[in-house]
Amino acid sequence: MRDLLFAYGTILQGASDPQVEAAVARYTERVDAGRVPGLLYDLGAFPGAVPRLPEDPREHWVHGVILEVLDPRRVFRVLDPYEDCDPQRPRAGMYRRERATITPASTPEEAMTCQVYWINKVPPYARRIPSGDWSQHARERKPSASRFA
């Protein structure tokens, strides 16, 4: 059984920690784009996602990438502290890592079980990202360069 991680934010690009970038580059491989039921929030420099509650009839998705984790021990030893995640006390940090059902983009009928970092508590300053896509949101929110004549 493959170890899979669903990444939707700075783990993919823009990590402020070079060890995170190195671990992801060396010890993961991209499997497919995907989505998971949930809500995505802009927390400033990074996003946070919460799973959709089963009783919520609305369709909200968090978009990201499915990664195969080639060396889970090395990868999660770096990613867990970066995400302020303590697997022994999942609710103690900012994020918790849980398994979730992900819908792959290329084969939506073949759901995959991946680990996902969910935020434990959405801060009051967070803004929901309606598209559920951090990468798109980050590109759109950057101010365009001004040109002077």
In tens, the pLDDT along 22-79 reads 999 999 999 999 999 999 999 998 999 999 877 777 789 999 999 999 999 999 999 9
Q: How many CA atoms lie within 13 A of 10 on its CB side?
A: 18
Residue 17 has pLDDT above 90, yes or no: no
What is the length of the chain?
A: 149
Which residue ranges make up each domain of the chain? 4-139
Residue 82 has pLDDT above 50, yes or no: yes
Per-residue model confidence (pLDDT) at position 149: 37
pTM: 0.90
pLDDT tens for each residue of 19-36: 999 999 999 999 999 999
Between CA 72 and CA 87 the distance in angstroms is 13
Structure tokens at 93: 């940090």
**If you ran DSSP here, which 8-state letter would residue 3 be given?**
-
Name the superfamily (CATH) of residues 4-139.
Gamma-glutamyl cyclotransferase-like (3.10.490.10)
Using DSSP's 3-state secondary structure scheme, residue 135 falls into helix
Residue 82 is inside which H or E element, if any? Answer: helix 72-82
Between CA 43 and CA 8 the distance in angstroms is 13
Residue 136 is inside which H or E element, if any? Answer: helix 134-141
